[in-house]
Structures are given as C-alpha cells and as structure tokens.
Structure 1
Amino acid sequence: MQSSFKRVLTGILFIGAAVLAGCGNNESDTSGGNGTNSGEGVLTVSIEENYSDYFEAIKGDFEEEHGVTVEFVFREQLEQAEALPLDGPADIGPDVMMIPYDRIGQLAQQGNLATVTIPDDGRFNETDIQQVTVDDQIYGMPYLLETLVLYYNKDLLDTEPTSFEDLEALMEDDQYDFEVESGMNTGFIANWLDFYYSYGLFAGYGGYIFGDNGTDPSDIGLNNEGSVEALNYLTEWYAKWPQGMLDEGTVGDFVDQSFIDGKTAAVINGPWGAANYEEGGVDFGVTTIPTLPNGENYQPFAGGRGWVISNYAKDVDLSQAWLEYITTHENQLEFYETVQQIPANIETRKVLLEEGTEVEAAVVEQYENANPMPNIPQTAEVWDNAKNMIFDTVSGNKSAKQSADDAVKVIQQLIEQKYE
C-alpha cells in the first residue's frame, strides 16, 4: 500500500453513503450470515482476504481455550473503518478489526472504539503504544509496522551511504548528470515535495507537526527554527535537481524510473518500493536513511496497522483476549512467515533483524528512529499546506521563513474553522 494513499485519508470525515448497513453483507463472509456478531459464543473478526489462510490456521487454539467460535468477515481495512460508525450502532459490525494507525484517532474520538489493555510483558515499546493512544487512552493493539528506508544501487555504489555528505557527493559525479537540463543531477533524489517523505528531515532538524507528541494542535511546529533550517536545506537540493522534481503528479514515477534505469544511485522509499525495483532488475541494497548534516538522525514517520475493538462489541473481554492472543511472539512470527509483513512484536522484530531480508531488517532498524504520525483529525489540514510550503520555498516564490509562517497560519485557520 502506498503511504501517500494512507496519508491522504488521515482524518477524513467518514461519509455515510459509503458505509450503508448493507455493506456488512459480504459474499466472502465465512459465517454465511450478514457478517455481524451473531451473539454469545461468537467473535466476529474483520480481515482482508489475503490474511485468511493465516488466521484460519491459528484460530483453533483460541476457540478451544475460550469455548467460542471465531467467524471472519472479509473486508478492506479502510472500508471497514469507514463503515464502523454506522454498522456498529446498527449491530451489524464486527467485534474486532485491523486498521491503519492514522484512523484510530478519529474513530476513538467519535466513540466508536473500546479501550484496550496492552499486556505488561514488553511485547511493544513506547513508539508502538503511542501509535494507538488517543487522549491518553489506549484504543488498539500494535500489529504491523512500516517506515521509510534508503535504497541504493549496488552496481553503482561499492558501499552504502551513511551520511548526507555521502549523498551530496553523488551530486558531483557527472555520470548522474541530467542530460536534458544542464547543471542538474540525479545521483540522489527523493520525493520531498510529499511531506510524508520529507517529514523525517524536518524532524531531524527539530521541526514537528503538533506539540506534546503530536496531540496538541494549538502548538504547530512547522515554522520553528528547525523547520526553517530544514526548508533551506531542501532548497539546496532542489537547486541541483531537474524541474520535474517539482511536478507533483509525476515526481513519484520519475524517482522510481530513474533508479530503475540506473540514472540514480540512491532513493528514499518505503518497503512497498522493493517489488518494483526487483521487477525492474535493480541489484539494490537497503539501509537506514543516512545521518543529516547536523549529526542527527533522519526521523521519518512510524506507520503501520493495529487491531481495535468496536465499542459495540458483544463481549469486549473476549475481544481483548483475541488481541492478546494474535500479538504473541509465536503468533506474530507465524504471521510473518505466512504473509511476509513486518510484525510489531519486539521479540519478533529481533528475529527479523537477524534472519529477515535486507528490506525487513532495514525497516525494523529505521523504525527505532521514526516518529509516530499524529493520529488526531486535525492532521488532515497539514498535508497540502506542508506541500505548498515546500514548493513555495524551493521554487523561490517565498523565503523559507515566509513560506513556513504562511503555511502555519492557514493550518491554524482551518483547525479553528473545522474543529473548534
């Protein structure tokens, strides 16, 4: 799944037309009914169909231990999240479901989620728990993780870049000169017009979206000293890149194709990029994103998905037990081996560091320096305005400070209009 897709959906108001009660009636529903919690002794679990083999394989032990039947409803996660506000009160929604972290905040604030207890056994760290925390209450169980990493072409580089100075050196290599535009170079490129990709640079310089770990929308840090410094550093990069790097509609494809064609030695992307690069025949390596010029780590968003309990579930205690069961190391390891996605359980992540693919190990390592994306609804007002801020600065329309101040002013106005 493209992170930009998830990001756009952050905080969007749920639209009733898309979540009519009839959506609960799914032909793939293994219960044979309408996909609802059908009463005592039944736990209804909403999953995407590609997970069915794994969950069918492990549900037996849970059913035996608790004397219940686990029934699955196959539904796309974002669709299920949008449906809950109507399906739940109508008593046709599932008891538990997996959804992206950035959907938890609004669902919780709307009263659609039950609180969850995280087992006190060290299976998750503070970053994981922050992903599922809203207004100091925990509303989910961490399950999957993802973040950005650095891909580099092994045919072009003998060693992996470890600092941004290494990346800057690539821009002095004439083998990466952009033929169509004199003086431009593509040794290293990144879609920094997209704030999902550039946030790690802002955070590394001391910028932030909202204060108090992303929970205080009255404190916007996109125009502080660190953010302005980050914008000025971005401007230095865009002065060396082709004009196409400012084309919002095509820049993502340009970055990928340039890397595949061997015209770029290193790019920033998420784990979802690996399949495209493999198909393109690139002999690539994967590592954590290099250290910034100020000596600080690049701090991208920590993302992923967690399990939540509907506030309309028939048996919240049983739902809690399911969440605890599926997030044990044993079950998370089997999940990884079955579907090849990166689990949140810390013990399982340690296994991936030693035995996983290069992509998986890099994601797990980078995640340690990642910041949870704010999951409050007000975050929806940030993305376009942050993009405009970056564009206005690097294109020379405004100074970094003026661009940042203007963006923050607009974000503040939108928050006052929509949320206060």
Structure 2
Amino acid sequence: MIKLQKLGIVVGSLMVLAACGNGDTDTNDEVTENGTEGNGETEQLSGTIEVGVGENYTDFIAEIAPAFEEEYGVEVIVTERDMFETLEALTLDGPAGLAPDVILSPYDRIGGLGQQGQLAEITLPSDRNDEIDEQQVTVGGTTYGSPFVIESLVMYYNRDLLDEVPTTFEELEELTEDDRFSFAGEPGTSTAFLANWVDFYNSYGLISGYGGYVFGNDGEDPSDIGLNTPGAVEGIEYAQYWFQEIWPDGMLDVTSAGNFIDDQFIQESAAAIINGPWGANNYVEAGVNFGVAPIPTLPNGNAYEPFAGGKGWVIPSYSENIDAAQAFIDFVNNEENTMLLYTDYTREIPANQNTRNTIIEDGEDELAIAVIEQYNDAVPMPNIPEMAEVWQGAESMMFDAGSGNQTAQEAADNAVEVIKTNIEQIYN
C-alpha cells in the first residue's frame, strides 16, 4: 500500500513519518538492470522506506512504488517536500529520525553532503551510466548518489530566420552582419546571437572550451584554480569581443541579461541563443518556430563545454533501512521507470544510458537529443563545498572583463584571488 503525505499550505509545516525499517536485511552487490539479483531472483528485503520528493515527482513515485513493494516486500511511503528544503533540513532531521530514506539532490550538492557524513555510500549498477554521470555523484573515490536526470545548455534557433543551423561560432559572427538583427538605439550592435555570458554558469562552457577549468583533479582540488590560465583568459577575451564589439549594453546587466535574451528571441530579433531545456516552454507558449541543436564549435575548433547538470538519488546516512533504500534507487533508475518519467511525467532526460539511447534512436524529441549530445561534451560541476565561493568571484570576472574595466587577465587574476581568499578563510 502506498501512503502519500503532503505538505500543508503553511510554510515550514511538514507531515513526515520517520523511517521505520529494521535494517536486518542481506545485501547483494550483483544487481541487474531490473533491480534483481544476479541469479535472476529478486532480493527479498523487509520493513518500510520513506521516499521524499518534490511535488513534481510524487505521482511518478506513487505509480511505480506498488511494483517495488510487491517485488521486494518493502512498504513505500511517499512524502512531499521541496528538494532544497529537504537538503537544508537534513542535518537536523537526520539525527532526529525525521529524514526520508531516499531523496533527490542536485549533483553539485552530493559531494559536499557526502563529505560531511550526511549521505550513505551506495553502489551503482554496471552499464547504466557513463563517466560524466559517475563523476557527478562521486567525490574522493566514494559514490554517494545514483544519477537520475541530466541537463545541459543548448542552442535554440529560429527556423523562420535561418536557412541553415549554425554549427560554428564563425557562422554566428557572420549573422551579426545581417541588418535584420541590428539593435535599435545602439548603432553598430547586433542581437543575431545572444548568450548570457555575464553569468558564469553560462560562460563556463566558453572558458572550458578554451582550456580553463574551475578546480584541478577533476574538480576536487580547490588549491588549483584554473580560471586565470592562458586558455581561460583566451576564452574570456573572446567573450570581451562580443560584449564590446557586437552586443548591446544590456547584455552586461547581471540581473536582466537573461530576460533581455528571452525577449529578443521571442520577438524574433535574435536568430540563435544559448539557454537550457527549462527555456523551451516559454518559447512554445510565445509561438516561436524554434529548433534546438548542440552549441556550435568554438573558433579554436573545440566544443563548447558547459556544466553538466541534473539530479541524483541519495540515501541519508541516518536511514535505518539502507539496503531497501539502495534497492529502491536501483529500481527507480531502471530503463522502464526512467522512460516512464520521460514520457508520462516531467519530460526530464534520464541519466540511464539505455533510456537515452532509446530517445536518440526514436529521433522525435529534438530538444532531448540536443541536450544528450551537448551533455557528452559537458563538464561535471565540482561537487565539493568550495564551489560555493566560485560563483560571485567568477561573475565579477565576466562583468569586469566584458565592460572593459579590466583586461581579461586582470579580471581573471582578481577573481581567482578573491576565490582563493574566501576558500582559505572559510574552509581552512
């Protein structure tokens, strides 16, 4: 029987049941794609697990949970709460026995929570995820999560304005010479192609594509900051070219650049933009005849390398039924269930490689295919706590360079110094 507990209207109120599994179950590391033992027999567990998710996942979990209950003999209780509220409350709810047994987390939070002892180590089934996926949920050689959904920045383009899909930044530069995209009131500027590069999340793909990086050792060494390396500076200089030679002044406004880009694309004043899959609904509602494709190749011939994003399942270390929680994570991430999530619920792209391949082979979802292809060139965002100190310094870096207040090297050096100082003060 599935029990669904929902939040009340009052902010902060939550009806949560403590996990009540007995924890006296046998483990089996050999788990197949369907969540069964290597010999084809289902691993029998017992007790109860609480699965805590946001409202956009409650119906999905409620639909698949009966099959899990029948197969494993474990009762599933579904509770509804905002993902970030759940994560923020974990340090108090966990010791008090109020934390769910299974929850979701953005990839960039998993490593830090694991290092703090908040998450249990888990095992990933073989042949289900790729190297990028696994890096998202692993820190210090320990895996603390199971990849669930993926996302990446992509390029949206207006089919009515372009005869061919741009595949290189040289082609995007050529578009800026078309008078159709001249920006009124600022002679000599163009909105043919727009990207929110004053925002570091959006500009990182440019910096990484030129050889820059956030932290060394695959994002785990905060003593090695690579945002002022020669490659990173070259990428920032290319952004300067767009800010200073092509784009209107509004592209340097940290608070409104994103809205400006959306408005220009909806008004058909921009032929191509960079945005994430979350932008698609807005363009559909506005009636834009758009297509989606991977971001064009950079002038140096390298791929644009944005941050790889998404969410993974994790097990709070306070769970009293970790074995059952592990089995549920394997179950929810199998091909059948992840395809159900994609087709019938959120349309998010599953991390499950087999499901991704099916989406590509089907060939009908242009947005999903573009995200999957771009994700293959994406860089996992560092998931250690020190990443929190990068955002503000890097944002200032892009503004200072783009506005011409500083050279690209000066802006990068200053940003790295701020990031280093903050990390030393907070984490050392």
Q: What TM-score, normalized to structure 2? A: 0.90
Measured against aligned partners, the alpha-carbon deviations of 1:342-366 in whole angstroms (never above 9, x if no partner) come to: 1100010011113341111110111
Distance 1:186 1:25 in 2: 46
Gaps of at least 5 residues in structure 2 are 23-46
Matched residue, 2:338 = 332
Measured against aligned partners, the alpha-carbon deviations of 1:177-233 in whole angstroms (never above 9, x if no partner) come to: 111111111110110000100100000000000001110000000000001101111
Output aligned runs, 1:50-65, within 5 Å.
Answer: 50-65=56-71
Contact 1:77–1:99 at 8 Å: present in 2 too? yes
1:385 paired with 2:367, answer no
Match for residue 167 of structure 2 among 155, 162, 167: 162
Distance 1:27 1:44 in 2: 18
Distance 2:287 2:195 in 1: 20
Measured against aligned partners, the alpha-carbon deviations of 1:249-277 in whole angstroms (never above 9, x if no partner) come to: 11111000000001100000000000011
User: How big is the shift at 1:33?
Assistant: 6.2
CA distance 1:25–1:34, change in 2 (3 Å) = farther
Match for residue 395 of structure 1 among 390, 403, 406: 403
Amino acid at match of 1:369: D
Secondary structure of 2:211's match? coil
1:353 paired with 2:360, answer yes
Contact 1:288–1:365 at 8 Å: present in 2 too? yes
Measured against aligned partners, the alpha-carbon deviations of 1:146-185 in whole angstroms (never above 9, x if no partner) come to: 0000000000001111000110011111111111111111
1:257 paired with 2:263, answer yes
Match for residue 138 of structure 2 among 89, 114, 133: 133
Secondary structure of 2:349's match? coil
Distance 1:257 1:171 in 2: 18
CA distance 1:25–1:144, change in 2 (3 Å) = closer
Matched residue, 1:19 = none
Matched residue, 2:178 = 173
Matched residue, 1:370 = 378
Amino acid at match of 1:342: I
User: How big is the shift at 1:49?
Assistant: 2.0
Matched residue, 1:320 = 326
Gaps of at least 5 residues in structure 1 are 1-23
Amino acid at match of 2:372: V
Distance 2:101 2:223 in 1: 34
When structure 1 is superposed on structure 2, of 186-195 and 385-394 the one drifting more is 385-394
Matched residue, 1:245 = 251
Secondary structure of 1:263's match? coil
Matched residue, 1:103 = 109
When structure 1 is superposed on structure 2, of 47-56 and 309-318 the one drifting more is 47-56
Matched residue, 2:426 = 418
Work out the number of aligned pairs and report it. Answer: 393
Match for residue 341 of structure 1 among 329, 343, 348: 348
Amino acid at match of 1:109: Q
Contact 1:205–1:227 at 8 Å: present in 2 too? yes
Contact 2:308–2:380 at 8 Å: present in 1 too? yes
Amino acid at match of 1:69: E
Distance 1:302 1:89 in 2: 32
Match for residue 407 of structure 1 among 410, 415, 422: 415
Percent identical residues: 52
User: How big is the shift at 1:27?
Assistant: 4.4
Secondary structure of 1:50's match? coil
RMSD across aligned C-alpha pairs, in angstroms? 1.4
Secondary structure of 1:382's match? helix
Matched residue, 1:147 = 152
Contact 1:353–1:365 at 8 Å: present in 2 too? no
Contact 1:25–1:35 at 8 Å: present in 2 too? no
Matched residue, 1:46 = 52
Matched residue, 1:3 = none
Matched residue, 2:36 = none
User: How big is the shift at 1:103?
Assistant: 1.4
Contact 1:35–1:72 at 8 Å: present in 2 too? no
Contact 2:6–2:81 at 8 Å: present in 1 too? no
1:225 paired with 2:207, answer no
Secondary structure of 2:155's match? strand
Contact 1:191–1:197 at 8 Å: present in 2 too? yes
Matched residue, 2:209 = 204
When structure 1 is superposed on structure 2, of 56-65 and 218-227 the one drifting more is 56-65
Secondary structure of 2:91's match? helix
Amino acid at match of 1:242: P
Q: What TM-score, normalized to structure 1? A: 0.91
When structure 1 is superposed on structure 2, of 83-92 and 346-355 the one drifting more is 346-355
Distance 1:369 1:332 in 2: 22
Contact 1:37–1:44 at 8 Å: present in 2 too? yes
Contact 1:354–1:361 at 8 Å: present in 2 too? no
Contact 1:150–1:286 at 8 Å: present in 2 too? yes
Distance 1:85 1:204 in 2: 38
User: How big is the shift at 1:109?
Assistant: 1.6
Match for residue 277 of structure 1 among 283, 299, 303: 283
1:79 paired with 2:61, answer no
Distance 2:207 2:405 in 1: 20
